[in-house]
Amino acid sequence: MTGQGATAGPAHASTTVPATPAVDPAVDRAVDRAAGQSLNRRVTVDSLWILAGYAVTSGAGFVFWIVAARLVPPAELGLNTAIYSIVTAAAAVAASGVGNALLVMLPVSGGARARLLRLGAGTGMGIATVTGLIAGVLVAVFVAPQGPPVVTVLGVALVTVVWSLFVVKDPVLTALGHARYTLAVNGPVNVAKLGLLPLLVVVAGTSALPVVVASVAPAVLACLLVFGFSLPRLLRRTPDGATRTADRADQSRDEAATASGNGISPVSVSEPETVPETVPETVPEAVPETPRGWLERNRRAFALFVLRDGTANGLYLGVILALPFLVTALAGAEQGAVFALCFQISLVLDLVVIGVGAALATHSAGAETGAPAAAMRVWLQVLAVVTFGAVALIAVAPFLLGALGRFYEGSAGITVIVLLAAGSVLRTSFEIWSATLRARQHTTIVLICTALFAAGLVPLVLVLTPRFGAVGAAAALLVVTVGLGVAGVVGLLRPLLAGRRSAPAVPASVVPVPAETGVRA
C-alpha cells in the first residue's frame, strides 16, 4: 500500500487517504450476522425478565378477576370494568409516548439521564391530567351519571395520573438495564390487589367500585417506592447510558469479528505509509457535552417522539383498552363485563410481544448492524410462542369461563376469546416492526398505521356492538387487525430484501475517511 502526500496550495492543504481494499462480501455478511446474534441474546435476556413480571401479573390478574366475578354481580362488575378500562386507556395514551421515548433515549443520554427522566415524568403527568379529565367527563356522562360530576371527573383524572406513572416505570427500569426489577415491583402489587379486593367488598360493599380501588391503591405505593427511592439510587449506581451503549457496541463488533473467522475487524481504517508534514501531530480533543447541553439539543426530538408515538399509541393501544368501556356504553354493563373478562384472559398473549418489543427497542437503539435480521428472528420466535399460547388458551377457555361463574360460561365468552386470541397472533408482526421503528425514532409511519387502524375500528365497533354485544366488538377488532398484521410483515421483510439486492463496492463495515482535512498551508 502506498500513501500520497499533502498537496499545498494558497488556501489550504489536504491529505488523501488511500482507498481501503474491498472486503469479501461473505465476511461482511458474517459480521452483520454475528452482530445480530449478539443483539438477539441481549433482547432475549431482558425479555425473559419482563415476561417473568408479566407472567406474575397475568397469573395474579386472572385469579383477581375470578374473585371479582364471584363477589361482584355482573351489572356492577361491568360498571367497574368500564371505569377501569377508560382509566387505563387514558393512562396508556399519556404514558406510552413518554415511556417509549425514554426507552430509546435513556440508553444514549449519558450524564443527562436524570434530567431526561424528570422531563419525561413531568411531561407524562401533564398529558395524563388532560386525558384523565377527558376520561372523567366520559365516565360522568355515559357510565356514572348519578354521581357528583365534579368529584367523578377529578377522581378519574387523579387515578389516571397515578396509573400513567405506574406504566412509565417499566420502560424506565428496562432502559436503565434493570428489567429484572419490574418483576420485583409488579409481583407484590398484583398480590396486594388480590388480597385487597375481598376486604373492600366486605367493608364497603360491591357498590363502592372495589375493583378500581383495589387495582389503584397498590399502584400508588409502587410509584412512591420506585420514583421516590429506587430510581434515584439506580441513577447513582448505574453507568451512564452513553458508556453502556459504547460498551455494547464494542462487544458486538468484537463478537462479530471473531465470528467472521479471519481476524478482520469490522471497523477498519487504512493508514498511509507516510504522514504529511502539514498534518498536525495532535488533534484537539472535543469538549465533552454537558448534561444540560445534551438535553437542550435533544429536547425537540424528545417532544416530537412523544407527540407522534403518543398519538399513535392513543389511536392503537388506547382504543383497544377502551373497548370494554365502549361495549358497556353500547350494549350494557353485562356485555361489558363479558368482554372485559375475556379481554383480560387473552391479554396474556399480547403481554408476550409487548415485553419482547420493549427489550428489542431499547437494545436496537444502540445497534448499528444486524438489527433487521435480529428483528425478523425475534418475530418468528414470538409468533411461534403466541400461536402456541393462543391454541392452548382456546383449549382451556371453557374451564376458565366456568371458573368465573355460570353467567360467563353460557354467554358466548368462548367465541370472544377465540376472536381476541386470533387478533393477538396477527398483531405480533406489527408490534415487533413498530419496536424497531421506535428504536430509530421513525415514528411517523407508526402514526399513519395506527390512525388507519382507529379509523377502521371505531365505526365497525359502533355498528357491530349494539347488535352482537361482546362478540361484535371482538369481531371488529379482529377484522381491522388483519391490516396491521400485513403492514408488520411487509415492514420486517423490506430491509432484509433491500440488503440482499444491494451489493456495495465498499462494505458498510469499513469506515470511510474524508479525503480533505482542511489544514491550512
pTM of the entire structure? 0.70
* 26/502 Cα distance (integer angstroms): 13
Say what the pLDDT of residue 40 is.
54
Predicted local confidence at residue 275, as pLDDT: 42
Query: For the chain, which ranges sit under pLDDT 70?
Result: 1-58, 238-289, 361-370, 410-411, 499-521
Number of Cβ within 10 Å of residue 441's Cβ equals 18
pLDDT score at 171? 87
pLDDT for 59 equals: 72
pLDDT computed for residue 16 by the predictor: 44
CB 467, CB 409: distance < 8 Å: no
CB under 8 Å to 38, separation ≥6 — which residues? 251, 252, 255, 256, 370
pLDDT at position 139 is 92
Q: Phi and psi for 519 in degrees, rounded to 5?
A: -80, 130
Q: Given this model, what pLDDT does residue 168 score?
A: 93
> Residue 143's pLDDT is what?
83
pLDDT on residue 7: 40
**Alpha-carbon distance 30 to 260, whole Å?**
5
Tens-place pLDDT, residues 408-466: 876 688 999 999 999 999 999 999 998 888 877 787 888 899 999 999 999 999 999 99
